[in-house]
Chains A and B, each alone.
Chain A
């Protein structure tokens, strides 16, 4: 019997590379001008799952909650070696905060049924909250090992990891099932495989509401499996009240554009005399010795 591993992946705007044309004149970012990517930490989560698969044998299922076009991040997972992927999409999921998100993910994982490991990214770059992992672990009622920078050892019963703590790191061991959140230190994600990309590029999602069938998407068998499973709230038995905005205790009350009014800024030219004068002032003000 091999392990069942579930990886959670999120589609995010590429906040690390904001091109100049995505900046609006008021200094805010035009989100829609940013390319949508797989959250970087989630590629590390997937890679860790694939490494465990290579070591022990495992089936790796990637799930994402997002709008229809989030299917692209699932394809990316397929290209890299995920065995199955599931899109969780429903208008009722829109506006979910981390609590509602973790609830939806939990319902989907319950439907999948058995798992030994859930691997999340440490944090998503659009918010840096790092909350979904621990919240999902709590909802599943399993232990969590966060901030994992290395999987030291894994067997069918337990896992040992290196994780960062405030003043360094620790080695910690837990029985399975357990949820990990993985940081970018853990590994170097493999590139997509050309063969798999070719096989899965055109795979679209199809709403399914029957029970979960683990028919894995293999390039050679994909003639049989011709779609990516898409589940809505009903398919995963989610209580709509706990999804989306109604399931989210947090609200954005106000968004403020911070207007910087330059205070008493002194313009200093690149002239050495000017710079010297600035240093004199800083010394006089006891700012530097």
Chain B
């Protein structure tokens, strides 16, 4: 018997920086791998990024399969998917994790389709567990947990007969462990087996846009829900956020309404945030929203419905109208600062 089949992470690297979500996934892979006695390995595709990959060792990655080619410097679907398939077939990982980024969400399903394996999008937790059917017993399989549509529901998804099991996870969902500078990784240059015919997309221009807001790094977030989805409430929310030195977040329907940009969305399909303080204004607290903010150190909920689920996770609950409460919060905070 050779090595145990690894837990593998697809690495994204932009401008010589490993994406944060890739590091978070290496850490999560380490947690899963320990339970099944497997090593953590990674796959990276790119050009002249070998030095950037070294850091993965500090987070517990034992080996990086590095596919280097000038044509892989910029992501395009078919070459990335084909090359990933080749590596997965050779290495036979048990689990493959992708960031639920634009790239991860583009390439992972294509890979899953070729390998006919299971893929679960936007998982909010991963575990190792077992499963029993009438005639079969599975041990050490990946449990992929995500909120399901339809209220306060968490679904555990498995793909017991599929190798590998694959999942995508959003930025910020998994916790980083502390790096250990003494740990290194082995970088193995691997052949991608691609030919010119695989490069079907010609990227003509890339326009970088400053992110509206970086919620992930914010220490304080004041968030607007449908109970505050109007310009008056929003300007109070912005005022409070500025006063507190924080940022403005939102629930999905507020973003859908166009009042705030997509970068402001907190939740399962937005950003997962870990601020010191999260003030939820007119947010009911559905599970998809909670999936992105329940890790906040302190949660203040303002809602006119005392039965709103947000009060179930809040540390401070204020039952009332946001248009009444927000001015009072602003006023008392200002008074405090000038005192």
Contact = CB atoms under 8 A, between A and B. Distances in A.
B112 A131 contact: yes
Nearest to B252: A16
Contact of A15 (B103, B149, B314): B149
Interface stretch (A57-65, A68-76, A192-200, A269-277): A269-277
Given A143-B77, A174-B200, A265 B131 contact: no
A256 B320 contact: no
Contacts of B309: 27, 260
Interface stretch (A42-50, A133-141, A206-214, A230-238): A133-141
Given A137-B110, A173-B204, A251 B317 contact: no
B157 A253 contact: yes
A249 B131 contact: no
Contact of A258 (B153, B204, B320): B153
B331 interface: yes
Contact of B328 (A143, A173, A272): A272
Interface in B76-93: 76-78, 81
Contacts of A147: 102, 106
B178 interface: no
A266 B316 CA distance: 5
B102 A251 contact: no
Nearest to B148: A255
A143 B78 contact: yes
A2 interface: no
B235 interface: no
Given A134-B113, A173-B202, A127 B77 contact: no
A268 B317 contact: yes
Interface residues of A, number: 83
Given A99-B113, A143-B77, A167-B208, A263 B315 contact: yes
A175 B153 CA distance: 43
A100 to B, nearest CB: 10
Contact of B155 (A15, A170, A255, A265): A255
A84 interface: no
Contact of B118 (A97, A170, A257, A259): A97
A138 to B, nearest CB: 4
Interface in B51-81: 75-78, 81
Interface stretch (B32-40, B159-167, B183-191): B159-167
A230 B174 CA distance: 45
A107 B52 CA distance: 43
A133 B110 CA distance: 9
Contacts of B211: 167
Contacts of B14: 166-167
A289 B14 CA distance: 34
A145 B297 CA distance: 40
Interface in B109-143: 109-110, 112-114, 116-122, 131, 143
A270 B332 CA distance: 12
Interface in B251-278: 253, 256, 268-269, 276-277
Interface of B: 14, 75-78, 81, 101-103, 105-110, 112-114, 116-122, 131, 143, 148-162, 200-209, 211, 220, 244-245, 253, 256, 268-269, 276-277, 287, 297-298, 300, 309, 311-320, 324-325, 328-329, 331-333, 335-336
Given A97-B118, A129-B122, A256-B156, 19 more contacts: A26-B151, A27-B309, A28-B151, A29-B150, A126-B149, A128-B121, A132-B109, A135-B112, A168-B208, A172-B204, A252-B157, A258-B152, A262-B311, A266-B317, A272-B331, A282-B277, A283-B336, A285-B298, A288-B244
